[in-house]
Each structure stands twice: as C-alpha cells, then as structure tokens.
Amino acid sequence: MSESTVTLDRRTFCACALTATAVACGGGGGGSASAPGPTPIPTGPKTTTDTKAGLLATASGTIRDYRDLGAFWLIRDPGGIFAMTAICTHQGCTIGQGGPAFACPCHGSQYDLVGAVTQGPAATGLAHFAVSESTPGGALVVNTAQPVPAGTRMT
C-alpha cells in the first residue's frame, strides 16, 4: 500500500482507527502514564516508489501513503511536491486520511492538506521533510531526519 493513493471508506477508517489506537497509543487512550508510548520510527532517508515527474503529473491534492515505509505522506499540491509526517503532534498516534485532509483516530485532531491544525487537541502542525531524487529523474527520497519549512516544495 505504500505507493498507492489511499482513500479510506468509513469502515476501513474505523478499522484503522482501532488499530492505531491499540498499537500507537498502547490501548490506553494515549493519556495514561502506565501505557506504553508509540513505537519509535527510525528516521533517515526513505526511498519511495514515486518519481518527481510522475507525482507532478498528478492532480493537486494527490496523497501518497508511506506510513509503512517511514510514517510520512508524499503530497502534490498547487505549489509542487512535499513530504509530511503522519505522526500526530498531540501524543504521537499515526494519523489517517479524514476530516479536511488528515485525522487522528486517538483524540480527534484534524489537519489540512499542508498539515495545519484545523481541530485540536493538537496545538502544532505536522512537520515537513526534505525531498530529493535518488538520481536525476529517479525515485524520490524523503529524509525524515531533515525537517524543512512548511512552504518548501519540489517543482
């Protein structure tokens, strides 16, 4: 599922929400001091299956799901291509698509396409990461250890 555009229906979203709650939030609702925290996700360069030309040829609003590869989304908007974390800034659950663009199954935070908070309890937006090409014209590489300003785009 790492390279396809994901559209979750209500049933799938709910199943994901239950899974994310149980796994990412330790099944304790995410607020308990005794509940295990989210599983750490190794950061660093992650090679996707998308190319710059291919993703730029898609419609604005296209979202590629790389949560399995490195907990991020690769997104096409009117400005170009950017990568953004899929980890909620509230308490670290993995967000899914929903709400204006993204929604957290744990406590209901919502984010728009560029990761700005549209509904709390999250107070800060989603981090963006550096995107480069593995070779000229090659696969896109997202470095989840290298944050960039939210306005950064590959064009």
Residues that bind ligand FES (CB under 6 A): 30, 88, 90-93, 104, 106-109, 121-122
For ligand FES, give the closer residue by CB, 70 or 98: 98
Sign of CA dihedral 92, 70, 7, 20: negative
For ligand FES, give the closer residue by CB, 109 or 144: 109
Query: How near is the Cβ of 80 to ligand FES at its closest, in Å?
Result: 27
Decide if 142 contacts 70 (C-beta within 8 A): yes
For ligand FES, give the closer residue by CB, 5 or 124: 124
For ligand FES, give the closer residue by CB, 124 or 134: 124
Query: How near is the Cβ of 105 to ligand FES at its closest, in Å?
Result: 8
Q: What are phi and psi of 137, to 5 degrees?
A: 85, 0
For ligand FES, give the closer residue by CB, 21 or 48: 21
Query: How near is the Cβ of 87 to ligand FES at its closest, in Å?
Result: 9
Which residue has tokens 């984010």? 111
Q: Which residues contact 48 (CB under 8 A, 6 or more apart)?
A: 2, 3, 64, 66, 69, 74, 139, 140, 141, 142
Query: How near is the Cβ of 67 to ligand FES at its closest, in Å?
Result: 14
Decide if 30 contacts 23 (C-beta within 8 A): no
If DSSP codes are grouped into helix, strand and coil, which group holds residue 107? coil
Query: How near is the Cβ of 31 to ligand FES at its closest, in Å?
Result: 8
Assigned token pair, 7: 């559209």
